Amino acid sequence: ETGVTQSPTHLIKTRGQQVTLRCSSQSGHNTVSWYQQALGQGPQFIFQYYREEENGRGNFPPRFSGLQFPNYSSELNVNALELDDSALYLCASSTRQATNEKLFFGSGTQLSVL
């Protein structure tokens, strides 16, 4: 296990609703990245948070937003849910103490949008 925890593990929402996913990073890690993994695909980078600020964003619309808290935990918020938002959402933490640092992933939140 990596020490990265995500909640909830599964979630069912309807189109148009809003959702908040949570992530606690591994102890000592100050950087959190969020990824979306559709069925049969690789993870797609959503954004990264470092020192409570967004530090890099992938090709996702503004209705995907996030926060990082002083204890380095993080939230991913998705507004106006669409059917295509159904996916596994992965949180990954790292320390930024070295370049090319590997990511430590949580087990993810499986979101289903009906």
Partner 1 sequence: GQNIDQPTEMTATEGAIVQINCTYQTSGFNGLFWYQQHAGEAPTFLSYNVLDGLEEKGRFSSFLSRSKGYSYLLLKELQMKDSASYLCAVNLDSWGKFQFGAGTQVVVTP
Per CB under 8 A, 26 contacts partner 1 = no
What is the maximal distance between C-alpha atoms in the chain? 42
Asked, as a colleague might, if the bond just before 62 is cis with ω within 30 of 0, I would say no
Phi and psi at 73, nearest 5°, equal -70, 165
Contact indicator for 24, 30 with CB cutoff of 8 Å = no
Stretch that binds partner 1, among 13-21, 43-51, 65-73, 78-86 (CB under 8 A): 43-51
Among 50, 60, 73, 86, binds partner 1 (CB under 8 A): 50
Positions that interact with partner 1 (CB under 8 A): 2, 4, 31, 33, 35, 40-45, 48, 50, 55-56, 58, 90, 92, 94, 96, 99-108
